[in-house]
Structure 1
Amino acid sequence: MCGRFTLAATPEEVAAFLALFDLEDFPPRYNIAPTQPILMATAGPPREPGSNLPDRIALLVRWGLIPSWCKDPKKLPLLINARSETAAEKNAFRAAMRHRRALVPATGFYEWKRQGAKKQPYLIRPKGGGIVAFAGLTETWSEPGGSEIDTGAILTTAANEQIAHIHDRMPVVIRPEDFSRWLDCRTQEPRDVADLLRPVEPGFFEAIPISDKVNKVANMGPEIQEPVDPAISPPPPTSPAAKRQPRGEEDQLKLL
């Protein structure tokens, strides 16, 4: 699952990475949380020969997808993630998988590993730094009053062997050479891009233990990413309750 992430790059760096034009200025963000605005890139409109329209366009969306058919978002769980293995069949994500695939720029994400009675947060970022693109979905929801809200979710997959000891899920990473194919919803159906929905290879990311400052959404500065020495404690005894699936991504899909 991806419940927090960071985008600490300049607009110029993000625009160059995603081949975007006229990207508005924005500050570095170190603790992006659900329901906050997030940047996504989608395919631009079809171009006529000789047109100078951009191939990709930037969107600012609410992190938490609301399906277009939803009458009352309060009756749905918060859909910040979609399981890549089943998104093409799930009622909440099926239309977006077919028509509205997107890229989510990030410079890392956060995950928590249980250690005894505590959870140790980790910053998981591309090894050596830089920007990465997560696979995303976007949907426009119309309020009863007629106004529209652009919303989105991040696709996840099984964690690779490097990350699995921290959490069993991780965001799907789309490589730059696959951007166009992933975003092409006119000729590429979900089955045509299913091969992209796989864990990134071990060694792509590095996992850095950080302080629990990241736990509070109000903490938004770069100091939350400062490395710490994690306090290792023995794991708690296994119990039936411990084996239950934690609330989160699975709970998002049970009602759909």
Structure 2
Amino acid sequence: MCGRFTLFTPLSELLTRFSASIDPMIQYQPQYNIAPSQSVLAVVEEGGQNIIKPLKWGLIPHWAQDPKIGYKMINARAETIDQKASFKTPFRRQRCLILSDGFYEWKKVGKEKTPIRFRLKEDKPFAFAGLWERWKSDEGEDIYTCTIITTEPNDLTREVHNRMPVILHAKSEKLWLDSSVDDTELLKSLLIPYPSSEMEAYEVSSLVNSPKNTGTELVAPLNSL
């Protein structure tokens, strides 16, 4: 699964990297410990343009009666994404790029769990494959939510966890965002483990265990994996 990640890359770099624009009213702040139910930044395609929008992490299906279902929908398995009722419709029509520059997993050694941060070796921002949904509350408010797709681990992440988030190759991002594409097999072919040779991992402070902690010290390397 993927239950915590970071995004502190300067906004100007994100706009260039993803060829996107952003609503000037959005207040961008670096995030060193993003947790479920919090707001994340995602790229969606609208009218042929890439737009960065805030989405709440934890997908609420449009048909849901209780928004609390979102707490169980932070991840979607790539293998069954076209079969599950909660995900198959947005998989065909409402795909997004969830922006990140690193994610955390916890390595269990005996009774201890050590937090590990994974990132690209080039230390550049990247995109998780995501889905988004719009849910309308009883008060008529539109709530936009998302989920991160996970897949089998690569050789690096396997040492820590049996799943990893899908990191899309830059060349695949345009296809993933294109809502006119509904070829299930083609889309699922993108949901594969990112090459371990292009990633690195290192131990970080246990302060990251609590989402209340949000400082830059959370990403400081302690020991390499």
Q: TM-score range by the shorter chain?
A: over 0.9
Is 1:185 the counterpart of 2:179? The answer is yes
- Distance, in Å, in 1 between the alignment partners of 2:35 and 2:83 is 27
- Measured on the aligned residues, the alpha-carbon RMSD in Å equals 1.5
- Distance, in Å, in 2 between the alignment partners of 1:134 and 1:169 is 14
Q: Which residue number corresponds to residue 34 of structure 2? A: 32
- Distance, in Å, in 1 between the alignment partners of 2:65 and 2:98 is 27
- Distance, in Å, in 2 between the alignment partners of 1:4 and 1:41 is 19
Amino acid at match of 1:17: R
Q: Is the 8 A contact 1:124 1:205 kept in 2?
A: yes
Q: Which residue number corresponds to residue 56 of structure 2? A: 62
- Distance, in Å, in 2 between the alignment partners of 1:185 and 1:126 is 28
The Cα shift of 1:191 comes to 2.3
* Matched position secondary structure for 1:164: helix
Is 1:149 the counterpart of 2:151? The answer is no
- Distance, in Å, in 2 between the alignment partners of 1:192 and 1:77 is 29
Q: Deviations over 1:107-135 (max 9, x none)?
A: 10000010111101001011131101110
Q: Which has the higher strand share?
A: 2
Structure 2 counterparts to residues 160-171 of structure 1, below 5 A = 160-171=154-165
Name the CA shift for 1:182/1:15 in 2 (closer, same or farther; >3 Å).
same
- Distance, in Å, in 2 between the alignment partners of 1:97 and 1:213 is 35
Structure 1 runs not aligned, ≥5 long = 47-54, 231-256
Q: Is the 8 A contact 2:37 2:71 kept in 1?
A: no
**Which shows bigger deviation, 164-173 or 16-25?**
16-25
Structure 2 counterparts to residues 102-251 of structure 1, below 5 A = 102-229=96-223
Is 1:72 the counterpart of 2:66? The answer is yes
**Which shows bigger deviation, 201-210 or 104-113?**
201-210
Amino acid at match of 2:31: R
Q: Which has the larger radius of gyration?
A: 1
The Cα shift of 1:59 comes to 1.5
TM-score of the pair, normalised by structure 1: 0.83
The Cα shift of 1:229 comes to 4.2
Q: How many residues align structurally?
A: 222
The Cα shift of 1:75 comes to 5.4
User: How many percent identity over aligned positions?
Assistant: 37
TM-score of the pair, normalised by structure 2: 0.94
Q: Is the 8 A contact 1:126 1:206 kept in 2?
A: yes
In the TM superposition, structure 1's runs of 4+ consecutive aligned residues that sit over 4 Å from their partners are none
Q: Is the 8 A contact 1:41 1:57 kept in 2?
A: yes
